[in-house]
Structure 1
Amino acid sequence: MTADDTATTGEIARLARGTLLPSFPGAAAPRWVLDELEAGLGGVTLFALTGNVPSPESLAALTAQMRKAGDPFITIDEEGGDVTRLGGHATGSPYPGNAALGAVDDPELTRRIYRSLGAELAEVGVNLNFAPSVDVNTADDNPVIGTRSFGADPDLVARHAAAAVTGTQEAGVAACCKHFPGHGATVDDSHLGVPIVDADLELLDRRELVPFRAAIAAGTRAVMTGHLNLPAITGGVPATLSRAAITGLLREHLGYDGVIVTDALDMQGASGKIGIPEASVRALIAGADLLCLGPNEHAETLRATLAAIDEAVRTGRLPAARLHDAAERTRRLRDWLAGSSPAAVDRAAGLEAARRAVRVTGALPGWNGAPLVVEAEATGNIAVGPTPWGLHPWAPDAVRAAGAPGEAEGVLERARGRGLVVVLRDAHRHAAQRALANALLTARPDAVVVEMGLPVWRPGAAVYLATYGAAAANAQAAAELLGLVSAA
């Protein structure tokens, strides 16, 4: 091997590292992460469930530690609302999510929310946020988007996508719109398989792509791909691994020239049959610039992926020019981050938005004494995780119910002689919730129903509250209206 060959090999290794965003467990960066950052690693993705975010103070120390070793993109999924990592995973977010913001439909308020979210991220050293979700949620039974979307109308989603991008980037944090080309028309979860979006280019242009165009026009610094099969566009290949989707649709059709990030490659929709290293190579060939590996993909996956990229370059599958292209785009993003300015945290915007989002049908009752609050069990999706939700922090007497046969009788006995509040979450997706609500309302038509997901299924309740999300801010807004807590 000549000296030139050695230099070229070293250059390719550094370029390959520059595309990778691995993860690690714990609140301190392990030695291998620091070594890889010194060698040119692109950055890391932080996850609450792996212990990266025990507190804002700890996170700030972690990001400072990593910046001493390199110039990383420090990325996180902080959408506000139901998908929250920055402290909200333990208490619920102080900011309502996109469905609530879409219900209010005040783009300036959306801009304020995302600017404050960005300001909180900037304070702890996060510089690339995997938000907003700009999917047009046209499938009611969508198991993974739902309240993460601004709504089902492309124009509404577009104006809030632009506002969210603007607000985030006013705080000096790069926005990353997702999940291109749109995860809203699916009834499958790309964590578990490859959802199909049955749409040709004409339908995509008037539905899924409308918010992405608005986000691009607003200057979004990054776009995240979804692991979605669009047969008319990708021919059965997930969009993340499809040159037709990334280079053809996003680069050429929409004219986007910023950074393209993959959704986590550990998801079944991307790597289920081929493994993460091969999925990484295919994503780079398709045109991606940064590869999010996943929450449990650490040093071993990183090494295997680097080896796969090196082999792909040596055998001619992956042109070295493609890695240079990715490096140039990520360099431009770092230059933008270096010149950005911070903003002020504005948590008051969160509660304001949550209060304005609540929709009430019927006349709210006045109770003598505290009502019984019964919260129906609801399984969260993988993106949301085990984030707390419900009205119990404000209720002196609250119970959880799974909706099992006969369970309503015990709840009714406990609620005898006082008010009853029934709390649901995406009841249209959970038969047990609907059965519980119907059984309780048959005996207690005076019960108040609170829906903390999407208000698709409405029971025959005299009083019905829709919060459009289950964040702490949404819960407080509902609790105030029900008299469980006084409005500040």
Structure 2
Amino acid sequence: MKTLHRLAVLVDSCLLPSVRGTGRGLPEWILRGLERGTPGAAVHAFGAEAKAASDAVRTVLPDALTGHSGPHGAGTDGVEAAAALMETGANLHLGVRPYPRADATRVFVTDLQVHGVAAALGPFTGTGNLRPFAEGAAAGVRAITADVPATLSGPAIAGVLRGELGYGGVVVSDILDAPSVVDGWGVPGAAVLAWIAGVDLIRLGPASGAGVRDAIQAAAARAVADGDLPVDRLEEAADRVARLRRWASDPRMPAARG
């Protein structure tokens, strides 16, 4: 029983659910998850609604990760993006896109994080121009998001991102309730494959609910029992996510290098 409870806590600590506006409060399953170890939530709202949602999450978990797609693009630098995100209560920018010039990616990531907001750079595909991700890793980017199919690919995550680029921070999955994922693997199966591949934090979209979370828990338990998903892989993922969460509470912490 203790082993099953420990596994459930590990799984919860590697999930990032999504919340919309909080006119009716946070969904019960997200509230319970935050109490059990879920590290925070991605906020799908803007302006005052985004701030209210972030505040609702932090009422339950004061040091929660609160992710947001944030501003990014022409005319927005890292300093401006950090200020805009902090106004919404966000401490994790989930929408940092690589610039055509790799050194510009480094500057944006550095400016954003110096001003207290963790950057999640992506989408990482495992192919094509990898220099922006190498620059981001060198700048100490706190998170990198992977698209599908890279989210489910060990060669892409463990081989290229961890191995070739030497990235040691958090890898965030693509949103796993996208139709391409649901139709191909189902959310629970995709979550397990992503953890096996080396992803740390599974991002669930607004369409996910308590049933999806429970199904992921069950799928992870089966994969562990079958020997497909080592518990130490989940422990490694949970540790990286915990470090990101601590950094978001105290951005002066050094970046992870391995």
Q: What TM-score comes out, normalization by structure 2 length?
A: 0.90
Secondary structure of 1:131's counterpart equals strand
Residue 20 of structure 1, aligned match among 15, 24, 29 = 15
**Cα distance in 2 between the residues matched to 1:24 and 1:65:** 10
Instruction: List aligned pairs for 1:30-429, cutoff 5 A.
Output: 30-48=27-45, 53=46, 55-56=47-48, 58-70=49-61, 71-80=63-72, 97=73, 100=74, 113-134=77-98, 150-151=99-100, 156=101, 158-181=102-125, 204=128, 208-227=129-148, 238-340=149-251
Question: Once the 2 structures are TM-superposed, how far is the Cα of residue 25 of structure 1 from its aligned partner?
Answer: 4.1
Identity %: 39
Question: Once the 2 structures are TM-superposed, how far is the Cα of residue 272 of structure 1 from its aligned partner?
Answer: 2.5
Give the unaligned 5+ runs of structure 1: 1-5, 81-96, 102-109, 135-149, 183-198, 228-237, 342-488
C-alpha contact (below 8 Å) 1:221/1:258 kept by paired residues: yes
**Deviation digits for residues 425-460 of structure 1 (CA, Å, limit 9, x no counterpart):** xxxxxxxxxxxxxxxxxxxxxxxxxxxxxxxxxxxx
Secondary structure of 2:32's counterpart equals helix
C-alpha contact (below 8 Å) 2:19/2:53 kept by paired residues: no
**Cα distance in 2 between the residues matched to 1:181 and 1:265:** 15
**Deviation digits for residues 314-370 of structure 1 (CA, Å, limit 9, x no counterpart):** 2211100001001111121122222227xxxxxxxxxxxxxxxxxxxxxxxxxxxxx
Q: Which residue of 1 aligns with 2:255?
A: none
Give the unaligned 5+ runs of structure 2: 253-258
**Cα distance in 2 between the residues matched to 1:25 and 1:211:** 31
Q: Decide which structure has greater helix share.
A: 2
Secondary structure of 2:18's counterpart equals coil
Q: What TM-score comes out, normalization by structure 1 length?
A: 0.49
Q: Which residue of 1 aligns with 2:3?
A: 8
Q: Which amino acid aligns with 1:11?
A: R
**Cα distance in 2 between the residues matched to 1:321 and 1:22:** 23
**Cα distance in 2 between the residues matched to 1:26 and 1:64:** 11
Change (3 A) 1:44 1:281: same
Aligned length: 249
C-alpha contact (below 8 Å) 1:165/1:218 kept by paired residues: yes
Question: Once the 2 structures are TM-superposed, how far is the Cα of residue 65 of structure 1 from its aligned partner?
Answer: 2.2
Q: Which residue of 2 aligns with 1:449?
A: none
Secondary structure of 2:96's counterpart equals coil
Secondary structure of 1:272's counterpart equals helix
C-alpha contact (below 8 Å) 1:241/1:270 kept by paired residues: no
Secondary structure of 1:263's counterpart equals strand
Question: Once the 2 structures are TM-superposed, how far is the Cα of residue 62 of structure 1 from its aligned partner?
Answer: 2.5
**Deviation digits for residues 396-422 of structure 1 (CA, Å, limit 9, x no counterpart):** xxxxxxxxxxxxxxxxxxxxxxxxxxx
Change (3 A) 1:33 1:251: same
Greater RCO, CA 8 A, separation 6+: 2
**Cα distance in 2 between the residues matched to 1:309 and 1:283:** 11
Secondary structure of 2:121's counterpart equals strand
Q: Which amino acid aligns with 1:214?
A: E
C-alpha contact (below 8 Å) 1:130/1:177 kept by paired residues: yes
C-alpha contact (below 8 Å) 2:196/2:233 kept by paired residues: yes
Question: Once the 2 structures are TM-superposed, how far is the Cα of residue 269 of structure 1 from its aligned partner?
Answer: 4.0
**Cα distance in 1 between the residues matched to 2:18 and 2:225:** 27
**Cα distance in 2 between the residues matched to 1:332 and 1:312:** 25
Question: Once the 2 structures are TM-superposed, how far is the Cα of residue 32 of structure 1 from its aligned partner?
Answer: 2.3
Question: Once the 2 structures are TM-superposed, how far is the Cα of residue 159 of structure 1 from its aligned partner?
Answer: 1.3
Question: Once the 2 structures are TM-superposed, how far is the Cα of residue 247 of structure 1 from its aligned partner?
Answer: 0.5
Q: Which amino acid aligns with 2:205?
A: G
Q: Which amino acid aligns with 1:280?
A: A
Secondary structure of 2:145's counterpart equals strand
**Cα distance in 1 between the residues matched to 2:40 and 2:5:** 19
Question: Once the 2 structures are TM-superposed, how far is the Cα of residue 123 of structure 1 from its aligned partner?
Answer: 3.1
C-alpha contact (below 8 Å) 1:79/1:130 kept by paired residues: no
Moved over 4 A (4+): none
Instruction: List aligned pairs for 1:455-466, cutoff 5 A.
Output: none
C-alpha contact (below 8 Å) 2:21/2:53 kept by paired residues: no
Change (3 A) 1:298 1:171: farther
Q: Which amino acid aligns with 1:13?
A: A
Q: Which residue of 1 aligns with 2:26?
A: 29
